[in-house]
Amino acid sequence: MILRFGILLIGLNLLLSCSEDTQINKPTPYEFIPPEFFGDRYEIPADNSFTVEGIALGRNLFYEKQLSRNSQVSCGSCHQQSKAFTDGAKFSIGLNGELTGRSSMSLVNLLWQTKFFWDGRVQSLEEQALQPIQDHIEMDLTLEEAVERLSDSDVYPQQFLEAFETEEITSDLIAKALGQFMRTLVSSNSKYDQHLQGEDVLTDQEKLGMDLFFTHPEPNTGLRGGNCGDCHLNILTAGNREGYQGFHNNGIDSEESLEDGLMIVTGKATDKGKFKAPSLRNIALTAPYMHDGRMATLEEVLDHYNENIQTSTTLDVLITNATNNPESVLPVMLGLTEEEKQAIIAFLHTLTDEIFINDEAFSDPFEN
């Protein structure tokens, strides 16, 4: 009996010793303070709250080239901080030099968005994060291979332990870490933001451009407008959060040339040719423009909306009803003057956020 009791004591002491040696510290909650003037229409997933360690891990994974088959491409390859997390290309270049079918979309203020990709095919950042890794053109790695590579790493098991209290790496946890990091990519320090907070920093030309941007024209009353804010809404300059209201056929193609767009998701013929209205934050840095990068400059974009609209059955009513000319007929012409177009472009430049594109917290950790 005494021997058995002694063995039990030894076993208990060993168990307690092991528990002390392998004690797991809880992840550190990250205090996220959103810009007050952005509003509170955002949701942080209940099962993926911000932590200091989770964000740090997500940043590493965002720039981790081992998540591509040839270890040469990362998320940061197509989403470069200096270009407001785009890549400056008409179509992004994949790991074998192949081109993707879409222009890289800026990753900015994603916390206030609920539909991702140009066609809105996913509804969470966690789901979005894993698709490029698996895409055969972009990174071409199965989730099983991604997990295996990270598990074999000298550093990632410990980082996952610190972020998620487990050394077992899973694709779900990879997605959660990336989601945490991407939600921190908040741009709120542009000249326009200073104006929103009461600072008189805009020039007369920029103020005119801002007024035109957010005004729907009423030709019969003489109210002139650029109609931009009908699709690029409010201070976030992005589409609505509810449903698919932020998706539009903006008249860049005729009926015969319409791509499927949102119709891929909804199956509705009335959604053919509709694509997401992206945030215009840092728009001066994110050329070329449109889902297929067909427009190289902001001047081309303004010319399109002003005089080059193509008609089709799904052309957005926000465009067909927008003109400064009381006698306008289809194909609708917005009817802005050159001075007004230049004023809108001047305003769009006030959306550039130098702090955002230079913030070390968003930079490539492997280059620092």
Annotated binding residues for heme c: 75, 78-79, 228, 231-232
- What letters, b where the CB count within 10 A reaches 16 and e where it falls short, cover 17-40? eeeeeeeeeebeeeeeeebeebee
- DSSP character at residue 130: H
Measure the CA–CA gap between 197 and 298, rounded to whole angstroms. 26
Cis peptide bond upstream of 331, omega within 30: yes
Sequence-ordered strand ranges (E) for 193-309: 247-248, 275-276
Distances (CA, A) of 21 to 14, 17, 24, 91, 156: 10, 6, 9, 51, 20
Residue located via tokens 């789901």: 127
Query: With left for phi above 0 and alpha for psi between -120 and 50, is residue 206 left, alpha or beta?
Result: alpha
Q: Write out the binding residues.
A: 75, 78-79, 228, 231-232
Q: Say whether 223 sits in a helix, a strand or coil.
A: strand
Measure the CA–CA gap between 238 and 260, rounded to whole angstroms. 21
Measure the CA–CA gap between 215 and 227, rounded to whole angstroms. 6
Q: Are 58 and 179 in contact (CB under 8 A)?
A: yes
Measure the CA–CA gap between 265 and 71, rounded to whole angstroms. 32
